[in-house]
Structure 1
Amino acid sequence: MARYTIETYGCTANRGESRAIERRLRDAGHRRVSDADTADVAILNTCTVVEKTENNMLRRARELDGETADLVVTGCMALAQESAFASADVDARVLHWDEVPAALTNGECPTAVSDTEPVLDGVVGILPIARGCMSDCSYCITKFATGRIDSPSVEKNVERARELVASGAREIRVTGQDTGVYGLDHGERWLPDLLRGICAIEGDFRVRLGMANPWGIHAVREELAAVFAECEKVYNFLHVPVQSGSNSVLQAMRRQHTVEEFHEVVSTFDDRLEEWTLSTDFVVGFPTETDDDFQASMDLLRTVRPEKVNVTRFSKRPGTDAAKMDGLGGTEKKERSSAMTDLKMAIVGSAYDDLVGTTRRVLAVESGRHDSVQAFDDAYHQIVIQNAGERGIESGDFLDVTVTEERTVYAIGEPVG
């Protein structure tokens, strides 16, 4: 688990985004500390309302860059003036708010909260289907906290989902350390049956499947893709963290899958679904990663072109086997991370640009900045609707929108009619 600090500047909306970031970091097992020099990562949530504010943000970013090993910049200035930080010689990862929590996980599985009961947050129902995982990744510390997989029955989880829908949930987020291995502690793979059971619940809602490691879903990829194709309630969205494009690095990571098996998962969903979103993660700078290994990861990114990508610089976690390895220099890891992030932004921006001019059915999920709502289409593309309050649009509403522009990691949608 990482130690982090977070500083927030600007309006109430920025403070709300920081609270959302902290909530997700807390639920993933990370711990807030008071000083940047004792933190693994510092998060700077920026404002850029006037030139003086902009200068203050750059000054604070430089200070934090000198105090912590890893700086993440997010917020308005990060989105509107991304290049300003590099021009000011600030070594930071510039990320959208939604990308910050995943970028801090070091490739580790999320850590479920101790209470694994469902939670209703607005119109979003959080459904933890199991605790623990079946992996033994050499760099992951969360396995010490979560242990092996412990799967409640399909019937129990479906009933939990039914209660969330009855309580007003419009989106059910199926979560866990590794949803793909749900049921393996009983010698079976229950994920397809679980999704079918949730889809059979009466009501107008959507289901998002949480992170599933490639090896966990490889054995059920055909059945799982069929469930996605058959059930309109399931977002056509799959988060499958590959972590590296090199089999030798994957072996050193003890990731239990190969690059070829990852390709097979992606190909299966390509064959069954007309449109879907692939989300994946890469860890760059693993101790055994050579230049050729890194280029293999870049080549994989170019080939599969995922529409959501989390890029994480490797950092050592105490007590893990990878922490005992001689690592790469910080400068080399930063350069590789920067190169992959640039490629990622180009790929993601292109994907959202392709949506411009299309009309899509979306679900408004939660309030955003400046009277906007964040909505998602059937493939879980994030589409922001502006002036939502003026238009009477609230979280939980389904509506049709025409995509008018892309903002690299999300799009702007105009309601139809």
Structure 2
Amino acid sequence: MSRTDPKSYFVKSFGCQMNVYDGERMAELLDAKGLSPADDADAADLVVLNTCHIREKAAEKVYSDIGRMRRDDGSTPMIAVAGCVAQAEGAEIPRRAREVDIVVGPQAYHNLPELVAKAARGENALDTDMPADSKFGALPKRAKQAPSAFLTVQEGCDKFCTYCVVPYTRGAEISRPWAAIVDEAKALVDAGAKEITLLGQNVNAWAAEDASGTMQGLDGLIRALDGITGLERIRYTTSHPNDMTDGLIAAHAEVETLMPYLHLPVQSGSDPILKAMNRSHSAESYLKIIERMRAARPDIAISGDFIVGFPGESDSDFEATLDIVRATNYSQAFSFKYSARPGTPAAEMTDDFIPAELADERLQRLQALLNEQQMAFNEQTVGMRTRLLLERDGRKPGQRIGKSPWLQSVHLETDAAIGTMVDVDIVSAGPKSLGGALARKEAA
């Protein structure tokens, strides 16, 4: 069916930080075509659902969201399904949900304005190609930014973990060129960003030639970005243990703007389960990386990812996961029950599935330990003085929220402007955030 050309849009992003980045870039594409952002989906002529395929029943949740797009008068906005579910489901989406006008995968969203125009003419608007040419050259230059910004430097994955759909939805590992990243970083800082988080499915696999033709890894890129005037902080995520190089570990000791925080997923503490997952590290090699990181940067905060209930996981395998948690002592972590993803090798391991009740019990035990460690990490910062980047207003009048160097949310009362770097004394700790007070200047 034909549609009226939309005048306003709303982008709803799910899942990982790379999806947040992609959502921002799609919004910039639509801005460049003269569309105006709406406050919510109900007020928009075009709604973009920027989907994630990592969570359980991701596709079904998208169809549920589509169903909620119908308005009181029976109409629906123009609906675009983007992201990894779009890549995985493809033409099945408009077959199941006739309200959907556009389907666009994560490697083709630079074509979104053209697809919107096709949908308005009633033409087929589906693009799930993974072209050899990078989409980034077709994206507009970065516009106004928040104090903290994401910058994608690497996409795709060649690791083929048996539980993961990323190689199929995001494609092979691709590193963006050096000059393009440096230019975008400078543009982000010029537009107001003081902190940049470098993104990639395997961000520490990034490699490219610098301006002199010398091959660089992520550590070389970080050292170059460290020279940008006005850039106060650098972070990166998500890392793979197999790509933690000597140079990257050294950068944590030597680059002042590189924050003392590392997200390094291990997934399991059991070597047999890691092998079944096709992870290229062992529990021992992972712990050696953590040991080296703490030797280089003693105050570093370690975050991780865990999957419990993977097919074949025994009681002793799960206990090994608890052991590696105790040995690492995490500041934060994300933990999930295993759920099969169609098309992945692990989905075929049907004889070894773990009963849901047992997986639930294991997840609760794991999360109790992780929550205990996170609370202890937060409590040990009470009484410390640190630098805070104010990012947004809090819920209370006069309250600001910012991030500590260790990626903790800190609440404090101040009239300092958003985007300001302030010295703060940590005065209280909760399980998810800290309380702070502006540091008083020492008397002369």
Q: Aligned match of 2:415 in 358, 372, 392? A: 392
Q: Give the counterpart of 1:374 among 373, 383, 401.
A: 401
Higher relative contact order (CA 8 A, sep 6+): 1
- In structure 2, the residue matched to 1:197 is 224
23, 27, 30: which is aligned to 2:52?
Answer: 30
| Structure 1 position 205, deviation (Å) | 2.0
1:408 to 431, 435, 439: 431
* Alignment check: 8 A CA contact 1:363 1:398 kept: yes
- Could you tell me whether the CA contact under 8 Å between 2:15 and 2:51 is conserved in 1? no
How many angstroms apart in 1 are the aligned matches of 2:203 and 2:108? 15
Q: Is the 8 A contact 1:112 1:131 kept in 2?
A: no
Does 2:192 correspond to 1:165?
no
Q: Which residue of 2 aligns with 1:278?
A: 302
Aligned residues: 325
- Distance in 2, matches of 1:279 and 1:212, equals 11
State how far apart, in whole Å, the 1-side matches of 2:64 and 2:298 are. Answer: 40
Please, which moves more after superposition, 391-400 or 187-196?
187-196
Q: Does 1:259 align with 2:286?
A: no
1:277-316 equivalent positions in 2, closer than 5 A: 277-316=301-340
- Structure whose residues are more often helix by fraction: 1
The CA distance in 2 between the partners of 1:276 and 1:37, in whole Å, is 37
Check whether the contact 1:134–1:181 (CA below 8 A) recurs between aligned residues. no
Per-residue deviation, 1:25: 9.0
2:248 maps to what in 1?
224
Give the stretch that moved more between structures: 117-126 or 337-346.
Answer: 117-126
Residues 32-59 of structure 1 deviation map (CA, whole Å, 9 limit, x = unaligned)? 99x999449999xxxxxxxxxxxxxxxx
Structure 1 counterpart SS, 2:219: helix
Unmatched runs of 5 consecutive residues or more in structure 2 = 1-11, 21-49, 66-105, 111-135
Quick one: structure 1 residues 309 and 368, their matched pair in 2 at CA, closer, same or farther if it must change by over 3 Å? same
* CA positional deviation for 1:114: 4.1
The alignment status of 1:176 with 2:203, answered yes or no, reads: no
| Contact 2:157/2:166, CA 8 A, preserved across alignment | no
Residue 215 in 1 paired to residue 242 in 2? yes
1:283 maps to amino acid: I
SS state at 1:309 partner: strand
Measured after TM superposition, the shift of residue 155 of structure 1 is: 2.7
C-alpha contact (below 8 Å) 2:394/2:401 kept by paired residues: yes
Separation (CA, whole Å) in 2 of partners of 1:276 and 1:243: 20
2:308/2:362 contact within 8 Å kept: yes
Structure 1: state its 5+ residue gaps.
1-18, 44-110
- Using a 3 Å threshold, how does the CA distance of structure 1 residues 200 and 32 change in structure 2: closer, same or farther? closer
Instruction: Show CA shifts across 1:305-357 (max 9, x none).
Output: 01011011110101111111121111111111111111111110011111111
Secondary structure, in 3 states, of the residue corresponding to 2:310? coil
Shift of 1:210: 1.2
Structure (1 or 2) with the larger CA radius of gyration: 2
1:187 and 1:151, CA in 2 relative to 1: closer, same or farther beyond 3 A? Answer: farther
Change (3 A) 1:36 1:396: closer
Paired residue secondary structure (2:432): coil
| Cα 1:36/1:178, change in 2 over 3 Å | closer
Task: Tell me if 1:147 matches 2:171.
Answer: yes
For the aligned residues, what is the CA RMSD?
3.2
Name the CA distance, whole Å, in 1 between partners of 2:403 and 2:161: 32
30 and 187 in structure 1: CA distance in 2 versus 1, 3 angstrom threshold: farther
Aligned twin of 1:346: 372
The change in CA–CA distance for 1:216 and 1:187 in structure 2 (over 3 A counts) is: farther
Q: CA deviation at 1:263?
A: 1.0
Secondary structure class of the residue paired with 2:428:
strand
Q: SS where residue 358 of structure 2 aligns?
A: helix
1:396 to partner: Cα distance: 1.0
State the shift of 1:395 in Å.
Answer: 2.2
How has the CA–CA distance of structure 1 residues 280 and 189 changed in structure 2, closer, same or farther, with 3 Å as cutoff?
farther
Structure 2 CA distance for aligned equivalents of residues 125 and 366 of structure 1: 13
Give the drift of 1:184: 7.9
Residues 137 and 29 of structure 1: is their aligned pair in 2 closer, same or farther, counting only changes over 3 Å? farther
What is the SS of the residue equivalent to 1:207? strand
What percent of counterpart residues are identical? 25
TM-score (norm 1): 0.71
In 1: Cα distance, 2:237 partner to 2:301 partner: 13
Give the deviation of 1:22 after TM superposition. 6.8
| Range with bigger deviation, 184-193 or 315-324 | 184-193
Q: Tell me the CA shift for residue 189 of structure 1.
A: 5.7
Q: Which residue does the alignment assign to 2:150?
A: 126
1:242-289 Cα shifts (integer Å, max 9, x gaps) = 000011101100011111221121111110113111111110110121
Separation of aligned partners in 1, 2:275 and 2:13? 35
How far is the alpha carbon of 1:384 from its aligned partner?
2.1
Deviations 1:212-244 (A, max 9, x none): 111122xx1x31122122211111111110000
Task: Give per-residue Cα distances to partners, 1:333-390, cap 9 Å, x unaligned.
Answer: 11111111111111100111111111111111233433433322233333222x3xxx
State the AA in 2 paired with 1:125.
A
